[in-house]
Amino acid sequence: MTISENKDLLHLNTFGISARAQHFAPIHDLPELKELILQEHPTETSLLVLGGGSNVLFTKDFDGWVLHNGIKGIEIIEDNAETVLLRAGGGENWSNFVDFAVENGWWGLENLSLIPGTVGAAPVQNIGAYGTEQKERFISLEACNLKTGEVRTFVKDDCAFGYRSSIFKTEEKGNWFVVNVTYHLQKKPHRILNYAPLKAAFENTPLSKLSASEISNKVKEIRNSKLPDPRKIGNAGSFFKNPVISKSQFQQLENQYPNIPSYPQDDGTLKVPAGWLIEQCGWKGKKVGNTGVHNLQALVLVNHGNATGTEIQQLALQIQSDVHNRFNIHIEPEVLIL
Ligand SMILES: Cc1cc2nc3c(=O)[nH]c(=O)nc-3n(C[C@H](O)[C@H](O)[C@H](O)COP(=O)(O)OP(=O)(O)OC[C@H]3O[C@@H](n4cnc5c(N)ncnc54)[C@H](O)[C@@H]3O)c2cc1C
């Protein structure tokens, strides 16, 4: 393992922000990780486990350890007539992992095609898109305790998966390095087409004939048509989470804004698209210096080139404040601001 000092993270975050890590260690396997934990005691300073850097915003240099997950490998753990258990190293690219499953004709992850980042971050964030979340296919993960080097298996019930959340972002925040993740896939078709744009795209196709690969390709096509490619324009996908509000607050807003969209939740609350709220405040497509709001998706803040993390953070604060003043709703960042 080669530890670097004062490492520039410019090419290791999708916002394309230049920030330096005091200590930087690329991790290729579990023994290397354990050795580092026991020799360097990285939790004694600040510590960040970094995957693809597609959900972080650096506003300053990182004083402490950045452990970059490069643990690779995809293994078939079980394969029978109906199902496959697939285990992937935490440093595998998520999108490539989904492609591997889809190319083999295994169902379950195709709606999550093309989400940037690593397999290890997927359960941490409980990534989701197009009507599903990774938790639906999650079986277990192995994680290494960043203080002791102990390796523990977490099954689904241990992970407290929620909307873009898990125990690794709450109670166990900063304690674990996800080494590998196991997913359960199906050989029989299991089509999830409840997300309106996906349903509409297949309006004239006999659904019983649709393959996982056709769904995956359509998801990629829709994503490419409305989300900026971080290789061309720096961004971290949705900057804010969709807020969840009470029924009474929603009714008050609906009186004022009859077109306000909403998604009813099981507990009677309603999820309101943050992108709609931001757009109503006039932010969609706006440019502020080197930063801005994407012209096709108001939830995506972008680096138009040479922006600093602080400039993007300032833009986010301004948007939060405008949404709060107009709707009395607090929108919380999904992106980890460092
Ligand atoms: C263009 C674009 C589109 C996106 N679309 C979606 C979408 O549709 N749905 C969605 O849910 N997200 C989306 N995202 C957000 C992002 O892809 C996910 O959050 C992804 O899981 C982040 O993975 P990463 O490896 O880049 O994590 P990083 O950004 O490196 O890290 C994110 C967080 O996870 C922690 N972490 C990362 N790896 C590990 C590990 N091995 N062990 C412990 N903690 C870890 C980090 O410490 C940090 O807290 C999008 C982002 C972009 C840029």
CATH of the domain at 249: 3.90.78.10
Per-residue pLDDT at 112: 98
The alpha carbon torsion through 215, 219, 225, 226 (nearest 10 deg) reads: 150
The pair of three-digit structure tokens given for residue 228, joined into one six-digit string = 């900026």
Name 64's Cβ contacts closer than 8 Å, sequence gap at least 6: 21, 22, 23, 42, 45, 46, 47, 48
Residues 167 and 85 in one domain: yes
Q: Which two tokens stand for residue 331?
A: 């929108």
- Tally of CA atoms within 13 A in the half-sphere of 40 that contains its CB: 21
Are residues 63 and 84 located together in one domain of the fold?
no
Q: Do 245 and 300 belong to one domain? A: yes
In this structure, the answer to whether residues 12 and 126 fall within a common structural domain is no
| Domain's final residue, options 226, 255, 274 | 226
- Do 52 and 112 belong to one domain? no
319 and 271 within one domain:
yes
As a whole number of angstroms, the distance between CA 302 and CA 288 comes to: 10
At which of 167, 191, 226 does a domain end?
226
Residue in 163, 162, 64, 74 with CA at minimum distance from that of residue 118: 74
Q: Which CATH number does the domain housing residue 79 bear?
A: 3.30.465.10
Look up residue 241 and give its DSSP letter.
P
How many other β-carbons are positioned within 10 Å of the β-carbon of residue 45?
13
| Number of domains forming the structure of the chain | 3
Q: What is the CATH number of the domain that holds 36?
A: 3.30.43.10
Distance from Cα 122 to the centre of ligand 1, integer Å = 6
Q: Which residues line ligand 1 (CB under 6 A)?
A: 14, 48-56, 69, 90, 115-118, 120-122, 124-125, 127-129, 164, 168, 176-178, 227, 230, 235-237, 336
- Cα(259) to centroid(ligand 1), Å: 32
Task: Of 273, 286, 93, 283, give the one whose Cα is nearest residue 181.
Answer: 93
Same-domain check for residues 65 and 147: no
CA angle centred on 149, ends 145 and 154, rounded to 5°: 40
Please tell me whether residues 138 and 277 are part of one structural domain.
no
**How far does the centroid of ligand 1 lie from the alpha carbon of residue 125, in Å?**
6
Domain region containing 101: 74-226
Q: Among 195, 226, 257, give the residue marking a domain's end.
A: 226
* Same-domain status, 221 and 85: yes
Question: 78 and 222, same structural domain?
Answer: yes
Residue 326 and residue 208 share a domain: no
How far, in Å, from the CA of 21 to the mean position of ligand 1? 19
Q: What is the pLDDT along the chain (338 residues), one digit of tens a residue?
A: 789 999 999 999 999 999 999 999 999 999 999 999 999 999 999 999 999 999 999 999 999 999 999 999 999 999 999 999 999 999 999 999 999 999 999 999 999 999 999 999 999 999 999 989 999 999 999 999 999 999 999 999 999 999 999 999 999 999 999 999 999 999 999 999 988 889 888 988 888 889 999 999 999 999 999 899 999 999 999 999 999 999 999 999 999 999 999 989 889 999 999 999 999 999 999 999 999 999 999 999 999 999 999 999 999 999 999 999 999 999 999 999 99
Q: Which residue out of 36, 55, 97 has the highest number of ligand 1 atoms within 8 Å of its CB and is therefore the one to mutate?
A: 55
Among this protein's residues, is 334 annotated catalytic? yes
Look up tokens 């720096």; give the residue: 234
Q: Is the distance from CB of 197 to CB of 133 less than 8 angstroms?
A: no
Question: 95 and 204: one domain?
Answer: yes
Cα angle for residues 319, 236, 277 (degrees, 5° grid): 30
Q: Which of 112, 115, 231, 337 to mutate to test the pocket of ligand 1 (most atoms within 8 A of CB)?
A: 115
